[in-house]
């Protein structure tokens, strides 16, 4: 909103103002289709395999993929979720 006066000053027509403010929003909306889900959110809804695949892609991007495989990540995530659930149960009782 702070940059809108500058856009209005640079663009001489309402059509150009509308276009210059809409195109970036459309580009961000399209990019959201390619953005992966958060591994933390995927774990919270029980999608362990998808979370481990995304974590493996992150490890590949950081050149750490040789340390673990997708199956190892999946088993670690299942253990982590089981431990977290058992801690939550012990806190409730």
What are the pLDDT tens digits along the chain (93 aa)?
788 888 888 888 899 888 988 898 899 999 988 888 898 898 888 888 888 888 888 888 888 777 778 788 888 888 888 888 888 888 887
Distance from first CA to last CA of the chain, Å, rounded? 50
The pLDDT value recorded for residue 20 is 87
Q: CA 20 → CA 2, 6, 29, 72, 87, distances in Å?
A: 15, 11, 15, 47, 52
The answer to whether the predicted template modeling score (pTM) of the entire model surpasses 0.85 is no
* CA–CA distance, 39 with 83 (Å, rounded to integer): 17
């Amino acid at each position: 909103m702070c940059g809108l006066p500058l856009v209005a000053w640079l663009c001489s027509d309402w059509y150009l103002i509308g276009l210059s403010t809409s195109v970036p929003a459309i580009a961000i909306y399209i990019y959201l289709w390619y953005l992966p889900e958060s591994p933390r959110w995927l774990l919270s809804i029980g999608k362990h395999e998808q979370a481990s695949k995304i974590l493996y892609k992150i490890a590949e991007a950081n050149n750490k993929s040789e340390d673990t495989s997708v199956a190892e990540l999946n088993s670690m995530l299942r253990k982590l979720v089981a431990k977290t659930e058992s801690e939550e149960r012990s806190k409730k009782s």
